[in-house]
Amino acid sequence: MTAVLIPNDSEFGIDNLPYGVFSTAEAAERVGVRVGDSVVDLAAALGDTIFDTASLNPFMAQGRNRWIDVRRQITELIEADAVPANALHDLGTVNLHMPFEVADYVDFYASEHHARNLGRLFRPDSEPLMPNWKHLPVGYHGRAGTVVVSGTEIIRPSGQRKVPAQSVPDFGPSRRLDIEVEMGFVVGVGTPLGTRINPDQFAEHVFGAVIVNDWSARDIQAWEYVPLGPFLGKSFATSISPWVVPMLALEPARIDTPLQDPRPLPYLREQRSWALDIDIVVEWNGHEVSRPLYSAMYWSPAQMLAHITINGASSRTGDLFASGTVSGPEQEQRGSFIELTWDGTEPIAIGDDNRTFLQDGDEVVITVSAPGSTGRRIGFGEVRGRIVASKSS
List residues near a copy of itself by CB under 8 A. 103-104, 106, 109, 119, 122-123, 130, 132, 135-136, 138-146, 148, 152, 155, 157-160, 162, 168-169, 171, 193-195, 217, 220, 223-233, 235-237, 262, 265-267, 307-308, 310-316, 319, 390-391
Cβ closest to a copy of itself, residue 289 vs residue 297: 297
Amino acid, single-letter form, for residue 87: A
Under 8 Å between Cβ of 195 and 305: no
**Annotation says 114 is catalytic:** yes
Nearest distance from C-beta of residue 248 to a copy of itself, angstroms: 25
CB of 237 or CB of 358, closer to a copy of itself: 237
User: Which residue number, 49 or 195, has a Cβ lying nearer to a copy of itself?
Assistant: 195
Cis before 262? omega within 30: yes
Q: How many CB atoms lie within 10 A of CB 263?
A: 10
Q: Least distance from C-beta 124 to a copy of itself, angstroms?
A: 13
Catalytic residue among 89, 97, 113, 114: 114
Q: Whose Cβ is closer to a copy of itself: residue 11's or residue 178's?
A: 178
Minimum distance from residue 347 beta carbon to a copy of itself (Å): 26
Query: 38-41 and 30-35 as β-strands: parallel, antiparallel, unpaired?
Result: antiparallel
Tell me: cis bond preceding 227? Omega within 30 of 0 counts: yes
Q: Report long-range pairs for 191-195 (Cβ below 8 Å, ≥24 apart).
A: 191/309, 191/314, 191/315, 192/314, 193/312, 193/313, 193/314, 194/312, 195/309, 195/312, 195/314
Q: Which is nearer to a copy of itself, 6 or 313 (CB)?
A: 313
* 29: nearest Cα among 90, 89, 98, 84: 98
Contacts of 351 (CB under 8 A, 6+ apart): 285, 286, 287
Query: Cβ 377 to a copy of itself, closest distance in Å?
Result: 33
In angstroms, rounded to a whole number, what is the distance separating the alpha carbons of residues 156 and 195?
Answer: 40
Q: Report DSSP letters for 274-296, one per residue.
A: -EE--EEEEEETTEEEE--BGGG
Neighbours of 369 (CB within 10 A): 19
Question: What does residue 281 show for φ and ψ, rounded to 5 degrees?
Answer: -125, 130
Q: Which C-beta is closer to a copy of itself: that of 65 or that of 311?
A: 311
CB 159, min distance to a copy of itself, A: 5
Could you give the 3-state DSSP secondary structure of residue 330? coil
Smallest distance from a copy of itself to CB 103, Å? 6
338: nearest Cα among 357, 361, 359: 357
Q: Which residues are catalytic?
A: 114
